[in-house]
Amino acid sequence: MQIKKASYLISSPGIENCPLPTLPEYAFIGRSNVGKSSLINMLCRNDKLAKTSASPGKTQMINHFEIVSGDIPADSKKEILYKWYLVDLPGYGFAKVSMRSRNRWEQMIENYLRKRENLAQVFVLIDARHNPQKIDLDFLEKLKKWEVPFSIVFTKSDKENQRTVSKNVKSFFEAMKKSWQFLPMHFVTSAVKKTGREKLIAFIDETNAEMMGNTAG
């Protein structure tokens, strides 16, 4: 799959303001400063798509991007175009915000994750430089309770040596095994080195094909 076009669509303060749920939707979420915007820009090969900031908590609304991707099936020479939504959600670390804002964001995120009917997958971003963090594990427990499909994306793998990254990934899943029977799919990425991009794109492509069939977007 190749991404042909990626464009900003709308920022919504709540699920009721989001675009009509007519396309498969992939949401990205993680703690503040986990590298979410950089990862989105790397996937779409557009450094100016999602706004990056040195200040955590910059994303405050549900940000929709419309993606057009192309794929040539094995049994065909004709390229098929798919449209889908990529969603940039506020982080759940909420650095330097008031309790009122934190509560509002938490409710907005919960409503979106539990009620958005076209949500195909949530990509939960985890910083590969660190040992398992309680805030991340607690958020995954919420997703399990809400029965939201998700995968884990380990970010910033270029900031540590491979041995440390592998150890942290293993430690994270060891922590999950204490309360999870089955472990989710995961990807190890680096926005700087473009690591993990092809695997993530391939996963989205497969999911799109399952949801939409071989129908042009």
Pair 111, 15: CB distance under 8 Å: yes
Confidence band of 212 (pLDDT split at 50, 70, 90): confident
**3-class secondary-structure state, position 164:** helix
Q: Which two tokens stand for residue 217?
A: 């977007």
| pLDDT at res. 214 | 45
CATH superfamily ID and name for 2-212: P-loop containing nucleotide triphosphate hydrolases (3.40.50.300)
Nearest-angstrom CA–CA distance, 90 and 112: 11
Alpha carbons within 13 A on the beta-carbon side of 31: 19
Task: List alpha helices for the chain, DSSP H.
Answer: 36-44, 99-115, 134-146, 162-176, 197-212
Nearest-angstrom CA–CA distance, 153 and 110: 20
Q: Residue range 86-112: average pLDDT?
A: 80
Q: Examine the pLDDT at 54 and tell me if it is beyond 60.
A: no
Question: At residue 15, what is the residue type?
Answer: I
Q: What is the pLDDT of residues 116-135, one digit of tens each?
A: 999 999 999 999 999 999 99
Nearest-angstrom CA–CA distance, 93 and 33: 9
- DSSP letter for each residue of 95-136: TT--HHHHHHHHHHHHHHHHH-TTEEEEEEEEETTS---HHH
Nearest-angstrom CA–CA distance, 68 and 52: 22
Confidence band of 72 (pLDDT split at 50, 70, 90): confident
Confidence band of 216 (pLDDT split at 50, 70, 90): very low
Q: DSSP state, 171?
A: H
Sole residue written with tokens 């390229």? 79
Q: What is the pLDDT of residues 139-192, one digit of tens each?
A: 999 999 999 999 999 999 999 999 999 999 999 999 999 999 999 999 999 999
Confidence band of 215 (pLDDT split at 50, 70, 90): very low
Pair 85, 67: CB distance under 8 Å: yes
Q: DSSP state, 87?
A: E
Q: Examine the pLDDT at 9 and tell me if it is beyond 80.
A: yes
| pLDDT at res. 140 | 97
Pair 178, 138: CB distance under 8 Å: no
Pair 89, 109: CB distance under 8 Å: yes
Mean of per-residue pLDDT scores for the chain: 89
Q: How do the domains of the chain map onto residue ranges?
A: 2-212
First-to-final CA distance of the chain? 14
